[in-house]
Amino acid sequence: GNSVTQMEGPVTLSEEAFLTINCTYTATGYPSLFWYVQYPGEGLQLLLKATKADDKGSNKGFEATYRKETTSFHLEKGSVQVSDSAVYFCALPYYNAGNMLTFGGGTRLMVKP
């Protein structure tokens, strides 16, 4: 099956700093790629997704570009806020048939005022 590796945390930033969380994947073909976010005490919410190579997903100031050459889908935000503090998960389909997901280990982001 497909797999994903993301940078380990925690990542601690000051408010308005630039954020990058690295994600690389191993897959056959070109599956959709996802970033999910988990706020404290809550389930997972879709943050953004890209369905084909070179697509850029974006939401709430976060962006990620599907790079097939480097098999990467790095998450970026130009200016983080305290409210962005959460755990971020990169994910892709477990198999190329179906939409069950395999997740990275998660990266905890802490933003300080």
Partner 1 sequence: DAGVTQSPTHLIKTRGQQVTLRCSPKSGHDTVSWYQQALGQGPQFIFQYYEEEERQRGNFPDRFSGHQFPNYSSELNVNALLLGDSALYLCASSPEFGARTDTQYFGPGTRLTVL
Q: Give the binding site for partner 1 (CB under 8 A).
A: 31-32, 34, 36, 42-46, 49, 51, 89, 91, 93-106
**3-state SS, residue 67:** strand
CB of 113 to partner 1, least distance (A): 25
Return left, alpha or beta for 15; rule: phi > 0 is left, psi -120 to 50 is alpha, else beta.
beta
What is the separation of C-alpha 60 from the centre of its chain, rounded to a whole number of angstroms?
Answer: 13
Give the span between the Cα atoms of 11 and 8, in whole angstroms.
8
Q: Tell the smallest beta-carbon distance from residue 105 to partner 1 (Å).
A: 5
To partner 1, the closest distance from the beta carbon of 14 in angstroms equals 24
